[in-house]
Chain A
Amino acid sequence: MMEATVESTIEQSADSLVSRPATGERAPVAEGETVGSPFVDSPKMAMRNVDVFYNDKQAIFDVSMDIGSNEVVSMIGPSGCGKSTFLRALNRMNDTIEGARVEGSLRLEGQDIYDPKLDVVPLRARVGMVFQKPNPFPKSIYDNVAYGPRIHGLVDRRADLDDVVEDSLQRAGLWNEVKDRLNQPGTGLSGGQQQRLCIARTIAVSPEVILMDEPCSALDPIATAKIEELIAELSENFTIAIVTHSMQQAARVSSRTAYFHLGKLIEVNDTERVFTNPEHELTEAYITGRFG
């Protein structure tokens, strides 16, 4: 079955898929194909026929979709559906896992991310990532934020670095809470503050894309609300792909939503469409709470 799908999608052009009529009725779809509108015009990132393996186990099956500029795409699906794996493939974080292998084409503004000659360091400077559990470095708050600019050599003077740190913390909505204790360890903050610190740390490098892997799963509802607010603000300047466990969150923060199921991308559509009138029966089953 897999073989057939690979062959059939390889030849599909983006145009033909985009032009698929977005009707209210659920179109009969062949199993294994992604329904909805996975592709956009002039995408920031374009993924085609992506397979991810952990040693012999395949975790992602033939996923193709686009992420447009300055949009927030959320990825939802039941546990173990591969959404986090897919996200980690976007800035080659899977490289750090032994035995992980990614196949297919992943492009950032036309450039192949998995080109063996491509350097992951500048790639990750362009595609930053925020992780599920807040992971501040055991350093001061200031050093946490300054870490990225420092290693990449983005600023020459201390004063500029101070500006970058302040600006990033401002944008992460953390400045007022921490400005008096920048020299205290980042690990001493509360969970929600830690996660916002991690976001500040990521935007301090001014990436083009920010990947967020369930950024609120370890946080309480109030902290979650703050992060969501922050995502909405950030979406003005950054392209954001967010994996989330919470459908409400996806509905609140994203413009488009992708639904993953057992390693396959089932449906990509405007968020509103997904939550009101999903095209695929699996999507509907999920959002109506029949599993997940």
Chain B
Amino acid sequence: MDTSTLLAITAALAALAYVIGRGRSLSQAADIGGIRKLNSLPFYYGMLTALWCGLPALLLLVLWLIFDEAIIQALLIESLPADMRDLGGSELGLLLNSVQNIANGNSAGITNPDLLAAGQLLVSLRENSQRALAVVVLSGGLLFGVFGWARIRPQQKARFQVEAVFKIVLLLCSCIAIVTTLGIVLSVLFESLRFFQTVPFFDFVFGLDWSPQMAIRSDQVGGSGAFGAVPLFAGTLLISAIAMLVAVPTGLMAAIYLSEYAGSRIRSAVKPMLEVLAGIPTVVYGFFAALTVAPMIRDNGAVLGLDVSSESALAAGLVMGVMIIPFVSSLSDDVITAVPQSLRDGSFGLGATQSETIRQVVIPAALPGIVGGVLLAVSRAIGETMIVVMAAGLAANLTANPLESVTTVTVQIVTLLVGDQEFDSPKTLSAFALGLMLFVVTLALNYIALHVVRKYREQYE
């Protein structure tokens, strides 16, 4: 019986428990003069019984799934001959791997009878484990279900108890955000620390040379300068800067026009159209940048006598900027409309023209919010992946020339991690170190931006 069938049966059992529990409360109610004499509605007695049945079963299932591999492995090692058992950690690991292969049916080339026997044992252990799991889960559910059923009394505060469980489930759901953050931090940090054991932190952060491929050879691991991330940071900043040069003025002016000048009809027509730009998947922008914009820039550059790389930072930056326009414009729109009308009135009342009011009163008043929005946009540009993967280069050039090819942090993460990787080579681990940098920088930007925006909102509330 596999896990999904087991889950279905458990659910059916819980449903049954609901019906029986509800029935019991009804029959008890009949003895004492109707439902009104019960503490709670029959529904809650049913739910309580179902929870008594389902929750322990689920808990058992999860515990079993977490621990069964470890227990099976321990039993397996126990069964191996003593000389094998005494082998060191990594060799034992290799042995266990071949046992796994045998159990999965790939016994080709393995003749050691002990290993073959262990493979057989593993297969039977796994089967037994599955079977035992089913028995334990179902009997556990049944047992607790009966217990819950037996506890049903008219005075029992069924509703109160069900609602308490309900509330705990809600709380757990809301904690997933924290668990996710924790998971990101732990996974990225853990692998990064392993990376920094081979490559010193300062070499990574301040090194000017990035060529992770060289480090595959064991004699060059941590070789000086091979993992210097400065060219990646510079490339990321260059492309982001180009994107912001496009997105901030355009987005801001578009927001100003839409919120201050345009009539409601134009606004309701143009705003959704601009937001379509934000809804287009980044992979589409990447395709557009790589196949349309980059050749266009290269050809135009050639006409002007400029030598433009076909993976120029300019193409990626421009397209990224277009992608971020609606992001900047909708955030600015929010903060501009939050500027109280009284300030505009004050300025108009003195005879200021609309543009004077906007430039000298509305924008300065909205500035913190706009800055917050721009910071969020920067964080987005830095973290943007697909456009640069498809349109920017792989070579880590340290240059400020937008017509040359540069690479970015996200491009390198993707190149290093796509495909099979070994989790102990510094090449793979360096991607996590880059991820850590990316996470820390964007987190800081987001935190500051959200803080600024919130402070700004409070100011006008």
Binding site for B on A (CB under 8 A): 91, 93, 95-96, 98, 120-126, 128-131, 133, 135-139, 147-148, 151-152, 198, 201-202, 205, 211
Q: Find chain B residues with CB under 8 A from A129 CB.
A: 345, 349-350
Tell me if A131 and B345 are in contact (CB < 8 A).
Answer: yes
The answer to whether residues A135 and B343 also contact, given A93-B349, A128-B349, A202-B349 and a CB cut-off of 8 A, is: yes
Note all chain A residues with C-beta closer than 8 A to B350: 124-125, 128-129, 147-148, 151, 201-202, 205
Interface of B (DSSP majority class): helix
A121 near B342: Cβ-Cβ < 8 Å: no
Evaluate contact between B342 and A133: CB separation under 8 angstroms.
yes
Q: Are B345 and A124 in contact (CB under 8 A)?
A: no
User: A147-B360, A151-B356 in contact; A137/B342 too (CB < 8 A)?
Assistant: no
Contact of A98 among B264, B349, B351, B353 (CB under 8 A): B264
B352 close to A121 (CB less than 8 A): yes
Closest to B263 in A: A98
Question: Is B347 an interface position by the 8 A CB rule?
Answer: yes
Whole-angstrom distance between the Cβ of A259 and the nearest chain B Cβ = 25
Residues of chain B lying within 8 A (CB to CB) of residue A151: 350-353, 356, 360
Q: Say yes or no for B5: interface residue by CB 8 A criterion.
A: no
Residue of A nearest to B339 (CB): A138
Return the CB mask of B338-363 against A: 1 if under 8 Å, else 0: 00111111111111110010001100
Interface residues of chain A: helix, strand, loop or mixed (majority): helix
B364 at the binding interface (Cβ < 8 Å): yes
Contact A135 B346 (CB under 8 A): yes
Q: Which of B359-393 contact A (CB under 8 A)?
A: 360-361, 364-365
Using Cβ atoms and an 8 Å threshold, which residues of chain B touch A135?
A: 340, 342-343, 345-346
Write the B316-349 contact mask toward A (1 if CB under 8 angstroms, else 0). Answer: 0000000000000000000000001111111111
A198 contacts B346, C-beta separation under 8 Å: yes
- The A/B interface has a contact count, at CB < 8 Å, of 77
CB-CB < 8 A to B348: which residues of A? 93, 95-96, 120, 124
Q: How far is the CB of B169 from chain A (nearest CB, A)?
A: 46
**A124 and B351 contact, Cβ closer than 8 Å, known pairs A98-B264, A135-B340:** yes
A residues near B364, Cβ cutoff 8 Å: 137-139
Cross-interface CB contact of B341 among A96, A128, A202, cutoff 8 Å: A96
A-B contacts besides A128-B350, A131-B346, A137-B361, 15 pairs, CB < 8 Å: A93-B345, A96-B345, A98-B264, A120-B348, A121-B352, A125-B351, A135-B342, A135-B346, A137-B347, A137-B360, A137-B365, A147-B347, A147-B361, A151-B353, A198-B346
Contacts of A128 in B (CB 8 A): 349-351
- Chain B residues, CB < 8 A from A130: 349
User: Which chain B positions have C-beta within 8 A of A211?
Assistant: 349
**How many Å from the CB of B258 to the closest CB on chain A?**
14
Bound form: Cα–Cα A55–B365 in Å: 30
Contacts of A138 in B (CB 8 A): 343, 364-365
B179 to chain A, nearest CB (A): 41
Which residues of B have CB within 8 Å of A123? Answer: 351
Q: List 17 A-B contacts (CB under 8 A).
A: A93-B345, A93-B348, A121-B352, A124-B350, A124-B351, A125-B350, A128-B349, A129-B345, A129-B349, A131-B342, A135-B340, A139-B364, A147-B350, A148-B350, A151-B352, A202-B350, A211-B349
A-B pairs with lowest CB-CB distance, top 7: A124-B351, A129-B349, A125-B351, A135-B342, A135-B346, A148-B350, A151-B356
Give chain A residues whose Cβ lies under 8 Å from the Cβ of B346. Answer: 131, 135-137, 198, 201
C-alpha spacing A91/B364, complex, angstroms: 25
- Closest A residue, CB atoms, query B344: A96
- Separation in Å of the B441 CB from the closest CB of chain A? 30
Most buried by A among B340, B341, B346, B364: B346
Instruction: Report whether B352 and A91 are in contact in the complex, using a CB–CB cutoff of 8 Å.
Output: no
**Cα separation A207 to B345 with both chains bound (whole Å):** 16
Bound form: Cα–Cα A138–B352 in Å: 16
Q: Give bound CA distance, A239 to B345, whole Å.
A: 20
* Closest-CB distance, B114 to chain A (whole angstroms): 81
- Complex Cα gap A54–B342 (Å): 18
User: In the complex, are the beta carbons of B351 and A122 less than 8 A apart?
Assistant: yes
Q: How far, in Å, is A137 (CB) from chain B's closest CB? A: 5
Beta-carbon nearest neighbor of A202 in chain B: B350
User: In this complex, which of B264, B343, B349, B351 has the most chain A Cβ atoms within 10 angstroms of its Cβ?
Assistant: B349
Bound: A32/B264 CA distance, A: 37
B345 neighbours in A (Cβ, 8 Å):
93, 96, 129, 131, 135
Pick from B340, B353, B360, B361: contact of A121, CB below 8 A. Answer: B353
Question: Residues 179-191 of chain B: 1 if any A CB is under 8 Å from the residue's CB, otherwise 0?
Answer: 0000000000000
CB distance from B362 to the nearest CB of A (A): 10
Q: Considering only CB atoms, which chain A residue lies closest to B356 in the complex?
A: A151
Do residues B349 and A131 form an inter-chain contact, with CB atoms below 8 A? yes
In the assembled complex, which residues on chain A have CB atoms less than 8 Å from the CB atom of B365? 137-138
Q: Which of B414-428 contact A (CB under 8 A)?
A: none
A130 to B346, CA, bound (A): 7
Q: How far is the CA of A133 from the CA of B356 in the complex (A)?
A: 22
